[in-house]
């Protein structure tokens, strides 16, 4: 069930979806968070959702935690939870609407530049939200491929064996594409490729050092891609192509 809660002249979509896997403790925590949110106790609601997220990946809890942070004026934390929710359900329309509201409040206006890079294209097709789809794709085509091989071995005529072998190889190849999608989606899940700026204002410098030349500044709530990192610094790339180093303490991994 989805409910809409108004905020002044804006509206934040609010998710009342229950935990996917039955768990009385988690369902209770989620229901408690929803009740606290509707009562206006956003900090306590955030804590309830966070207790779920400490042990489970759950879209609705990430989504509603982002709403709590937004209501509290914590744009960095709101962006972090929304981006983590996006990893789970990248095409959710309510989430896209809430991100639009959030981005309107962020100081920095970063216009994305068109890109034809393979990595940009792949990012739309891999991630936690695509893991199940790629797995089903792989199983489907491997099943068809093995069925064709069994048919070729047991019942096919001599003339049709080469055709069946060709079709089976094609199906196996499509199954391998599915496994590649699974592998890439797992890699995105296990290795963060984005950070969110959590501090009110932070310098981005030319080298991973406090003595580096200041290239530009970023404000709370900006999301950037990770290029590389050291123990204390993260090299980031913005959607507009700007690159630089930011202190690790100023950002949080998505």
Residues 254, 248: Cα–Cα separation, whole Å: 13
- Decide if 49 contacts 72 (C-beta within 8 A): no
Give the max Cα distance, the chain.
75
What one-character DSSP code corresponds to residue 90?
T
pLDDT of 5 reads 41
- Which residues, 6 or more positions from 34, have their beta carbon under 8 angstroms from its beta carbon? 16, 45, 64
pLDDT tens for 59-118 read 999 999 999 999 999 999 999 999 999 988 888 999 999 999 999 999 998 887 765 454
Residue 247 Rama label (left phi>0; alpha psi -120 to 50; beta): beta
pLDDT tens for 193-230 read 899 999 999 999 999 999 999 999 999 999 999 999 99
């Amino acid at each position: 069930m989805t409910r809409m809660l108004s905020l002044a002249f804006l509206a934040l979509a609010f998710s009342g979806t229950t935990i996917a896997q039955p768990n009385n403790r988690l369902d209770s925590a989620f229901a408690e968070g929803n009740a606290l949110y509707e009562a206006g106790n956003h900090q306590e609601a955030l804590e309830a959702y966070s207790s779920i997220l400490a042990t489970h990946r759950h879209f609705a809890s990430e989504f509603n935690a982002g709403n709590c942070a937004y209501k509290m004026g914590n744009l960095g934390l709101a962006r972090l939870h929304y981006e983590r929710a996006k990893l789970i359900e990248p095409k959710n329309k309510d989430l896209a609407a809430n991100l639009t509201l959030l981005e309107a409040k962020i100081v920095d206006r970063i216009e994305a530049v068109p890109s034809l890079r393979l990595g940009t294209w792949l990012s739309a097709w891999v991630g936690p939200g695509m893991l199940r789809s790629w797995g089903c794709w792989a199983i489907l085509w491997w099943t068809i491929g093995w069925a064709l091989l069994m048919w070729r071995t047991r019942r096919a005529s001599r003339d049709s064996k080469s055709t069946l072998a060709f079709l089976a190889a094609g199906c196996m190849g499509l199954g391998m594409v599915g496994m590649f999608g699974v592998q890439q989606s797992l890699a995105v899940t296990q290795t963060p490729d984005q950070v969110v700026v959590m501090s009110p204002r932070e310098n981005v410098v030319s080298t991973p050092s406090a003595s580096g030349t200041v290239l530009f500044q970023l404000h709370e709530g900006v999301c950037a891609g990770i290029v590389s990192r050291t123990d204390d610094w993260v090299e980031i790339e913005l959607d507009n192509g700007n690159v630089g180093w930011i202190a690790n303490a100023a950002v949080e991994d998505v």
